[in-house]
Amino acid sequence: MKAMTDPNCMSEVYRELEKFLKDRVSQSPIHRMAYSRDWSPRQNYEADFPDIVVIPKTTEEMVRIAEIAYQHEIPIVPFGGGTGMGGGVTTWKGGIMVETKGMNQVFEIDGKNLTVTVQAGITIWEINEVLAQRGLWLPHQPESKRSCTIGASIGCDNDSTFGLRYGKIKDCLTNAVIVTGRAEAVRVGQRKCSFSSTGYKLLDLLVGSEGTLGVIAEATLRVIPLPKLRQVQGFFFRSLNESAKALERLLSAGLTIESAHLNCRHRLHFYTHTYREKFGREPNVPEWAEAILFLSFAGDEEVVHFNVNKATKILVEEFHSQQTQEREMVEGWWDSKHRLEFIPFKQKWPDSQRQKKFGSADIGLPIGRLDEGYHHYLKIAKKWDQEILGMTVYNESPNKTTASISFAVFVDDSNAESVNRFYQYVREMSEMAVQFEGTMSSYIGDGDRLGGFNQLEHGLSFEYMRRIKEVFDPKNIMNPGKKFESRWIKRHIHG
């Protein structure tokens, strides 16, 4: 890949792109600034300007963009909603930023086979607005769904509110079209089937690939009928491990649970931001409670009521939990988590970001080590002078307890040393995850923070990953500097 310091090269590239994109290509500083960073913690003045911004509308246009980039050996970085927290869309090696939201069409809703085929730049919110008219919905629901695109969900492998029942994006995805670093549009997957035993599972390689193998252009996803009723309940527990055991008991009893989110008492205060705004006080949380488990149940009315009553009986009688009595707290949490209904200008996000930035070590742990991980979190956060926001455990595998965890802190992005300490905190938390037989990242991805350093987790297989990238992207033009390089941990910790 050539260095991005030759203005003559970029001028030639711009002219070639302008021939077919017309006014959908720009070198304007104000346009480039809009794509210069994501939500990842970094100093407030830091920005990575792309050299050129393009807005393709078709797969064919995306192929032509890739041909030009391949010819000139310049980077291509796809941009979805920009809400990622790992630096996955930063153009720190320059190049072409692809604004994917121009590719936002719904190609087909197949009600008979329960699939939807879309361009990858459409947001999850937009898809469900269209599906709702047919009584259908896509159950992959990250909190960022208003801005998060399908391509970004696939590329980042983000978490979903309803992961306990429906899994992550790969559990919905049946096929996709990717424009590779060879400037070829390749369809991978199993058409409209949910699984296949033929060939290699190339579709799975796209999940979490962060644009390093190519730009995802189209996707077909499995959808389901909208549930008729949903109920959300909250329960207090004395420990995180105990609440995880209780959830496993509910599943082994045969109950159908739509979502399960486990919060430490610190994190609950982040999610009850609107409650404080409305009532002027914190919700009532027993002093002994170290964990709050929120559950949602959905389906036909009689089934939902049965599941709620049976779950409550098990949790209270067998595990001595206490059901949350303040419905306003439960509903406020659900507004924040799923409905995205807030008091105007008084919501947790981005209102809480005005003074300090949200940062997280998004590790995954074996389910029996939650309390141990929590105590290490408190210790490591204190060591690196991190302001604790709290811990949330998401369950992202269908019908089994898992631990995709946000160990969140607040970062002062006006202070270089604060950002420095944050990445040292992330490094030590990541090392702890590997020592505990877990993973360094469960929903943010490598981005420009864990690349290279993640070899500690992957060992020799890390080199096989490099070779896979070379097959898809022989000139390393697809989102270079991600997954295999870590400028933040390297910069701040190794000098």
Write the DSSP assignment of 302-320 as a string of letters: HHHHHHHHHHHHHHHHHH-
One domain, residues 467 and 490 = yes
β-pair partners for 293? 235, 262
Strand order in the sheet with 173-180: 106-110, 115-119, 214-222, 173-180, 185-189
pLDDT at position 117, please?
Answer: 98
pLDDT at position 332, please?
Answer: 86
Q: Is residue 84 part of a domain?
A: yes
Number of domains in the chain: 4
CATH number of the domain where residue 30 is located: 3.30.43.10
pLDDT at position 159, please?
Answer: 96
Q: Is residue 2 part of a domain?
A: no
What is the 8-class DSSP label of residue 437? T
Q: Is the pLDDT of residue 494 over 50?
A: no
The mean pLDDT value for 10-33 works out to: 96
The mean pLDDT value for 311-317 works out to: 98
Residue ending a domain, among 75, 102, 129, is 102
Q: What is the pLDDT of residues 411-442, one digit of tens each?
A: 999 999 999 999 999 999 999 999 999 999 99
Q: How confident is residue 277, by pLDDT bands cut at 50, 70 and 90?
A: confident
Q: Is the pLDDT of residue 495 over 90?
A: no
Which among 410, 452, 462, 397 has a CA at the least distance from the CA of 430?
A: 452
Q: Is the pLDDT of residue 185 over 90?
A: yes
Helix (H) or strand (E) holding 419: helix 416-435
How far is residue 303's CA from residue 208's CA, in Å, rounded to a whole number?
35
User: Considering the chain, what percentage of its residues have pLDDT values greater than 90?
Assistant: 86
Q: Where are the beta strands (DSSP E) in 141-184?
A: 173-180
The mean pLDDT value for 226-248 works out to: 97
- The answer to whether residues 321 and 246 touch, using CB atoms and an 8 Å cutoff, is yes
What is the 8-class DSSP label of residue 442? S
Mean confidence (pLDDT) of the chain: 93
One domain, residues 323 and 193 = no
The mean pLDDT value for 309-313 works out to: 98
Q: Is the pLDDT of residue 400 over 90?
A: yes
Q: Is residue 1 part of a domain?
A: no
Q: What is the pLDDT of residues 63-106, one digit of tens each?
A: 999 999 999 999 999 999 999 999 999 999 999 999 999 999 99
User: Considering the chain, what percentage of its residues have pLDDT values greater than 70?
Assistant: 95
Q: Is the pLDDT of residue 349 over 70?
A: no
CATH number of the domain where residue 435 is located: 3.30.300.330
CATH number of the domain where residue 149 is located: 3.30.465.10
pTM reported for the whole predicted model: 0.94
Which domain, by its residues, includes 306? 229-344
